[in-house]
Amino acid sequence: MNGESLHALERFELASQHANEVQIACLERILKENGNAEYLQNLGLDGRTDVASFKSCVPVVTHQDLMPYINRIVDGDMSSVLTGKSISRFSISSGTTQGKPKFVPFNNELAKSTMEIFRTSFAFRNRRFPLGKGRALQFIYGSKQLETRGGLKASTATTNVYKSDLFKTTMKDIQSQSISPGQVVFASDFHQSLYCHLLCGLVFSDEIQLISSTFAHSLVNAFRSFELLYQELCEDIRVGHVSTSRVTIPSMRDAVQELLYPNPELADQIYDKCKGLKESNKDWGGVIPAIFPNVRYLYGIMTGSMEPYLNRLRHYARDVPLVCADYGASEGWIGVNISPESPPETASFAVLPNIGFYEFIPLRPRNEEEEVDPIGINDVRIGEEYEVVVTNFAGLYRYRLGDVVKIAGFHNQTPLLKFQFRRNLLLSINVDKTTEKDLQLAIANAAVHLLESPNQIEVIDFTSHADVSSNLGHYVLFWELNDDAVSKEILNRCAKAMDLSLVDIGYVRSRKSNTIGALELRLLRKGTFKKILEHYVGMGAAVSQFKTPRCVGRSHGRVLQILSENVIGNYFSNAYNQSIKK
C-alpha cells in the first residue's frame, strides 16, 4: 500500500474515532465560510456557528424550498445568495426520479470532498484487492455541458468531477491507468463512446485489472452491447483500424487509432472465446474473466435501484468479485464502503464526518404521518431507519436528501449506513404506500415463475405506474424480458405473485375492499428501456449516471408514452378474485 493510501486510512480512522467532535467542527467551518450568505442572514443566524443556534434558526428544507434562491443563481446572480463565495457551476441530476432534472450548486469544496471519498475508498479496496501496474477499463461518460440563463456552466455531478483538476491529479495517484482517452469519455455520442471503451479494453485485455462504471446498469449495458458487437470489434483489432461506420467523430477515432495496430492473433483469441461462450451456454456466462483474465474486481454503485442488475452482472462476472462503490448523490458524498469484500446486497457505508454535516429524521411507521426532529450521528440507533438530511459547503443547509437508510452498526463513533430506498419513490392510489424496495421484492418473487419456461428467461428491466385513469385505480408493472417466448399462463402467475407479495397494509386492505383493482403486468418490446435511456441522454444526462425510473407518473410524460407505445401484452392478477373494468 502506497503512502497516500496509508494517510487516507489514518485520516479516516482519526475522524471516525472522534466523529461527533469532527461533525461540530465541520458545521462550524461551513457556517464561517458562508455566514455572509443572504439565505443564512435572512434566517437570523447572525454569524453564530454552534449546532444549537443552527438548528433553531435554520429549517429543514427540500429542493423545492430552495428553488427561489437557486433560480436567482441560475439567472446569473453572482452575489452571496447561498454561499459566501458566488456559485459559478451547477450539477444537474439525472431527472429520473421526479421526471425533470434539478440544478444543484457545485463548487470546489464539493470537488475536494469527492477526492477525499475517492482516496479513502481506494485505500480500503486496495488493501483487500491490491492492484499492480495494470490498466482499468472504466465505462464512464461525460455529459453535455449546458449554459444556464445567466451564463453559468451546468453538467452532471460526475462530469463536473471528471473535468476538475483535482480529479485528474488524484486519480493519477490512486487508480490504475484508465485505457480510454479523454476524447472517448467526453464524446457527444454515447453509442460511439461505448464502442471505443470496449475496443480499448480488448486491445489491453490481458492488462485489465479493474472494470468499473458509476452504476451497475452501465456495466450490464456494456456487456449486453458486447454480445452484439464482438465480431466488429475483433475485425477492428485484426486490421488495426477503428470502424468508420461505428465511430464517426474524428477526434475520438483519431485518439483510439493511436492505440491500434494490426493484431490478428489477438483478434482470433477474442473471437474464439466469444464463439465458445455462445456455443456452450448461449448466454455469455463468464464472459468477463474469459476476455479479461487478470481482472481483480468490478466496481460501481450496486445498491438501491441498481440491485436488480446484480444477477446479470454476476452471470457475466462468475467468480470475479463485485465491489459496491460509495454512497452519495448529486448533492454530494456521504459515506465510504470500508468492507469492499462484502456482497453488494449487504454493503454499508461509513459516514465521513469531515466532509459535511449530517442529520437523520427517524422514520415513522407508514400509517403515522407525524415526523420528529432530526438527530445527529451520535444519537442514531442500530437497526433503525432514518431519512438523511445534509448540510454541505455548496449552499445546502438541512437539506432533505430523500434517501432512507438503516443503521447497520458503527465504525468507531461514525455510523454505518445501509441504503434502503428513496422516500419519494412511492406507488400510491389512496392510503397505500408501496416503495421501490417493496417492488423489487415482489418482482424477485414473481420472476421465479419464469424458470418454468424452457428458455433462460429473465427480467431485463422494469418500472411501475399507478394507473388512476379509470374509477378503480390499479398498479401497473412494466417488464422487458430477454425472450418473449413466455406463455400467458406463466405471465398471469407472475402478475398474481407480485400482487400477493405487496404487503403494505394500506395496499392489502385496499385490494380486499375493492378500492384498488387487480395488479396489471404489461410486457414490453425488447429495447424499450434502451429508448428510455436515450431519451434521458438527449435531455443531458450522462449514461454512467442513468438510473431507470422505478415509478413513473404524469411528470414522466415522455417516458409513459414510450412505455405505452411498446406494450405487447397485458396480464392481470386474480389474487383477490377481482377484475379491472377498462
Q: Is the pLDDT of residue 99 over 60?
A: no
Name the pLDDT band for 307 (thresholds 50, 70, 90): confident
What percentage of the chain exceeds 90 in pLDDT?
51
**Would the pLDDT of 95 be above 60?**
no
Asked whether residue 506 carries a pLDDT value surpassing 50, the answer given is: yes
- Whether residue 274 contacts residue 215, with contact meaning beta carbons closer than 8 Å, is answered with no
- pLDDT at position 142: 75
- Residue 582 has a pLDDT of 39
User: Which pLDDT score, from 0 to 100, does residue 16 have?
Assistant: 94
Write the single-letter amino acid at 37. Answer: A
Residue 484: what pLDDT?
A: 81
Considering the entire predicted model, what is its pTM? 0.84
Between helix 19-34 and helix 3-17 the angle, nearest 10°, is 100
Please provide the average confidence, as pLDDT, over all residues in the chain.
87
> Where is average pLDDT lowest: 95-104, 374-383, 438-447?
95-104
Tally of CB atoms within 10 A around 280: 11
* Residue 453 CA to its chain's centroid (Å): 32
Q: Is 57 helix (H, G, I), strand (E, B) or coil?
A: helix
Q: CA 380, CA 377: separation in Å to the nearest integer?
A: 6
25 confidence band (pLDDT: 50, 70, 90): very high
Instruction: Please check the confidence at residue 3 and state whether its pLDDT lies above 80.
Output: no
Q: How far apart are CA 43 and CA 35, in angstroms?
A: 11
d(CA 50, CA 27): 8
Q: How large is the average pLDDT for residues 558-577? A: 89
Please give the pLDDT value at position 195: 94
* Rounded mean pLDDT, 562-567: 93
The CA-based angle 267-269-274, given to 5 degrees, is 95
Position 405 scores a pLDDT of 92
Is residue 240 very low, low, confident or very high in pLDDT (cuts 50, 70, 90)? very high
For residue 3, the surrounding DSSP H or E stretch is helix 3-17
pLDDT band, residue 581 (cuts 50/70/90) = very low
User: Of 435, 441, 461, whose CA–CA distance to 530 is shortest?
Assistant: 461
Of 365-374, 444-453, 458-467, give the lowest mean pLDDT range. 365-374
pLDDT score for 287: 94
Taking Cα atoms as reference points, which of 81, 49, 124 lies closest to residue 357? 49
Place of cell 419513490: 425
- Which of 302-306, 422-426, 499-503, 539-543 is predicted with the least confidence, judged by mean pLDDT? 539-543
> What are the DSSP calls for 18-40, one per residue?
THHHHHHHHHHHHHHHHTT-HHH
Backbone angles phi, psi at 28, to 5 degrees: -60, -45
Report d(CA 267, CA 14) in Å as an integer.
50
pLDDT, position 151: 80
Indicate the angle between helix axes 557-565 and 528-538, nearest 10 degrees. Answer: 150
Q: Which helix (H) or strand (E) holds 391?
A: strand 385-391
Task: Give pLDDT, residue 317.
Answer: 94
Whether the pLDDT of residue 4 is over 80: the answer is no
- Rounded Cα distance between 457 and 482, Å, is 6
Tally DSSP H helices, then E strands, for the chain: 20, 22
Give the pLDDT mean for 467-482: 88
d(CA 422, CA 409): 21
Can you give the pLDDT at residue 433?
A: 83
The more confidently predicted of residues 56 and 421 is 56
Range 295-315 burial, b when 16+ CB lie within 10 A, else e: bbbbbbbbbbbbbbbbebbbb
Q: Which pLDDT score, from 0 to 100, does residue 171 have?
A: 58
State the pLDDT at residue 366: 55
- What pLDDT band is residue 498 in, cutting at 50, 70 and 90? very high
Average pLDDT on 388-400 reads 94
Work out the pLDDT band at 283, boundaries 50, 70, 90: confident
- pLDDT at 367 > cutoff 80: no
Tell me the Cα Rg of the chain. Answer: 24
pLDDT at position 451 is 84
Q: What is the pLDDT of residue 249?
A: 93
* pLDDT over 60 (residue 176): no
What was the pLDDT predicted at 368? 58
Per the model's pLDDT, the better-predicted residue between 485 and 366 turns out to be 485
| ∠ CA 179-185-188, rounded to 5° | 145
Rounded distance between C-alpha atoms, residue 274 and residue 268, angstroms: 10
Evaluate the CA torsion angle 547, 551, 554, 558 in order and state its sign.
positive
What sign does the CA torsion over 156, 324, 552, 389 have?
negative
Q: What is the pLDDT of residues 135-157, one digit of tens each?
A: 999 998 876 677 788 888 877 77
Q: What is the pLDDT of residues 34-56, one digit of tens each?
A: 999 999 999 998 889 999 999 99
Helix axes 310-317 and 216-239, enclosed angle (nearest 10):
40
Whether the per-residue pLDDT at 438 is higher than 70: the answer is yes
Residue 158, pLDDT above cutoff 80: no
pLDDT of residue 579: 45
- Please give the biggest Cα pair distance in the chain: 72
The pLDDT of residue 181 is above 90: no
Is the model's pLDDT at 200 over the cut of 70? Answer: yes
Q: At what angle do helices 190-203 and 250-257 cross, to 10 degrees?
A: 0
* In contact, 261 and 285? CB cutoff 8 Å: no
SS (H, E, C) 436-488: HHHHHHHHHHHHHHHHHCCCCCCEEEEEEEEECCCCCCEEEEEEEECCCCCCH
Query: What angle do helix axes 216-239 and 190-203 make, rounded to 10 degrees?
Result: 60
